A and B are shown apart, each in its own frame.
Chain A
């Protein structure tokens, strides 16, 4: 019932959304494809489809309705593609007849508001971060934090923990990381897009967390890297598995992505969090696209894959502009190989296309 309503809604909304998009309409009728899900990559997906429509006339309408809703739509094959922050399990994928692949990489960073301490000065380790979020370390002058930062003058403040109130990929990512570095975290809280936080206050959206942290002296929260940069929040140096203290940014996200083992039957990375390598930022994750294994309409399937291929290659410039990290080229080749192997329309493979794909970035 909900599903049917959503489908209707999608039909009604799409033309409205596109009315404002000022898309040049060519002589031939162009397809319009629908997708939806995760909110985190929305700015990127919106920019991609705008640029792509400008180049080719083909329209991709992306609705940021949340990963949960996106997955639900794809289970019922309502959208042409879905987007999710957390990768789906292989058995869920095969049961729903979907395949997934990473589309873009981003990082989550802890941010602090401590007087006298600038960005990328405070050092923390995974276990300390876990104990802060568990409510076990309650003061910034805790001996463990002091020992790690002998050169910093830490203020005698209580720690105010700030978390995300709404279900989100950022929460999924950081709770996954905390579970990897702390057995207690696994036991007491676990991993999910929303969890039962033992302490702290929660705010809606990255911007909500940013503003809570900005306003509360002595607070610590976590946001998508882009938000930390745009809001001038102080990030921390977080110890990675190799013992290094990389500062968060595109370089350390890329390092983590390069070290990740991108394997498994579903072509998802076996986790990008807590990667090996001196320079790898430990809380890195991908945003995933879901599409149907068996495509009902060959034309639409071709358009879809052509578009994603363009996003990977021609759309890279936009990825950089918006502070995300593109999927490394070798991985893109493997993703496209998986399209060739698995996506069928009327029994025939859809990829590679019979004609060359658009590669220009504009």
Chain B
């Protein structure tokens, strides 16, 4: 939707100087020459939009410049070296990259079904008097600062995991490599669950909003044909809102990738790679949060900034993939309509 509008705005700007009688014919993006507030308004908004681009570019440049030392020292093998030794100044990003990707992936795995469930319940099944309070409660979750999630995770949730959940998992599923090691309540699984709780409100509120956009006509028709609620959701609501759902998931993923404080509290901060979900791990952002203040040598600081650059790139790649996916879905939808 944005592209055509932007395009129109651009042409309008470009065509603004020569005043002509053709102008009134265009439905949008018109600007009367000499209409100063209008020109100013356009210039200001353009400036703000440009500022965002400039900011991203500046962040990328600074990260790149300051990570240069680390990459020239360790080479590309910085990406797949497992060691992180501040004393000997031997740094590798693999454990942090692994932890970042795995914790975010697990969080999405947990959060998506729950969020979709909440959204479907709120739009399709909940009695009106319940919709508002539950919806508000979900949105309140989004307003809780991440440090609170971290402290709650550390002081309340981790002990529950250590005493009840993890011993149970070990007892029943202990033969799997996923559930090895002592049940400490601190580690990948706890971090992923906390992350899931943190992103559920985002995914829920977006999907709820897009579900609400489904035309009542389409749903009523399906019900009229004798479809059950499940069939309506499965065959009408979800196909109609695919784009929005994918968008919501990627927004949640983006947030999970960068989440710092809450994860730092419960993930155990060990520069290790382990298959077990019970063992302590690390993420890029928690490594940064932990180690930046006391990093004195240039190589150390540069390696940390290189980690930041990697996170920046991971996020960029994932957002690009999301855009690509959305674009393909949109095309399919348009195709199917035709």
Contacts and interface: CB of A to CB of B under 8 A. Distances in A.
Given A196-B84, A201-B268, A202-B268, A65 B187 contact: no
Contacts of A72: 296
A182 interface: no
B330 interface: no
A190 interface: yes
Interface string B68-97: 000000000000000111111000000000
A215 B159 contact: yes
Contacts of A194: 86, 290-291, 294
A15 B243 CA distance: 49
A261 interface: no
Interface of B is mostly: loop
A189 B84 CA distance: 11
B85 A160 contact: no
Given A167-B295, A208-B265, A158 B289 contact: no
Interface stretch (B13-21, B178-186, B217-225): B178-186
Interface in A201-228: 201-204, 208, 211-212, 215-216, 218
Select the residue from B87, B88, B154, B185 with max chain A CB neighbours within 10 A: B87
B195 interface: no
B264 to A, nearest CB: 6
A46 interface: no
B88 A71 contact: no
Contacts of B83: 196
Interface string B27-54: 0000000000000000000000000000
Contacts of A208: 154, 265
B189 to A, nearest CB: 13
B294 A193 contact: yes
B269 A67 contact: no
Contacts of A166: 289-291, 293-294
Interface residues on A, range: 20 to 34
Select the residue from A71, A168, A191, A194 with max chain B CB neighbours within 10 A: A194
Contacts of B252: none
Contact of B290 (A65, A69, A165, A201): A165
A296 to B, nearest CB: 24
Select the residue from A67, A71, A158, A211 with max chain B CB neighbours within 10 A: A211
B86 A195 contact: yes
A165 to B, nearest CB: 4
B142 to A, nearest CB: 24
Nearest to B84: A196
Contacts of A160: 182, 184
A355 B120 CA distance: 77
Nearest to A159: B182
Interface in A50-70: 65-69
A206 to B, nearest CB: 13
Contact of A192 (B86, B159, B286): B86
Contact of A68 (B184, B290, B294): B294
B208 interface: no
Contacts, number: 99
A127 interface: no
Contacts of B270: 197, 200-202
A215 B88 contact: no
Contact of B265 (A39, A197, A200, A204): A204
A69 B290 CA distance: 13
A167 B88 contact: no
B269 A201 contact: yes
A168 B294 contact: yes
B269 A202 contact: yes
Contacts of B265: 203-204, 208
A165 B265 CA distance: 10
Given A215-B159, A215-B162, A69 B186 contact: no
Contacts of A203: 154, 186, 265, 268-269
A217 B162 CA distance: 10
Given A192-B87, A194-B294, A196-B84, A216 B264 contact: no
A216 B190 CA distance: 15
A68 B186 contact: no
Contacts of A192: 86-87
A178 to B, nearest CB: 12
A215 B182 CA distance: 13
A205 to B, nearest CB: 9
B201 interface: no
A71 B300 CA distance: 15
Interface string B136-163: 0000000000000000001100110010
B274 to A, nearest CB: 11
A197 B186 CA distance: 17
Contacts of A190: 87-88
A196 B85 contact: yes
A196 B87 CA distance: 7
Contact of B182 (A158, A191, A193): A158
A79 to B, nearest CB: 15
A69 B295 CA distance: 8
A166 B154 CA distance: 16
Nearest to A191: B87
Contacts of B184: 160, 201, 215-216
B296 A71 contact: yes
B186 A167 contact: no
B85 A167 contact: no
A354 B184 CA distance: 61
A58 B270 CA distance: 44
A65 B296 CA distance: 13
Interface of A: 39, 65-69, 71-72, 158, 160, 165-168, 189-197, 200-204, 208, 211-212, 215-216, 218
9 contacts: A68-B295, A158-B182, A168-B294, A200-B270, A200-B280, A201-B184, A202-B269, A212-B186, A215-B186
Interface of B: 83-88, 154-155, 158-159, 162, 182, 184-187, 264-265, 268-271, 280, 286, 289-296
- Shortest Cβ-Cβ A-B pairs, 4 listed: A167-B294, A66-B293, A165-B269, A201-B268
Given A197-B270, A202-B269, 18 more contacts: A67-B294, A68-B296, A71-B296, A168-B294, A193-B294, A195-B87, A196-B83, A196-B88, A196-B271, A201-B268, A201-B269, A201-B270, A202-B270, A203-B186, A203-B269, A215-B159, A216-B184, A218-B182
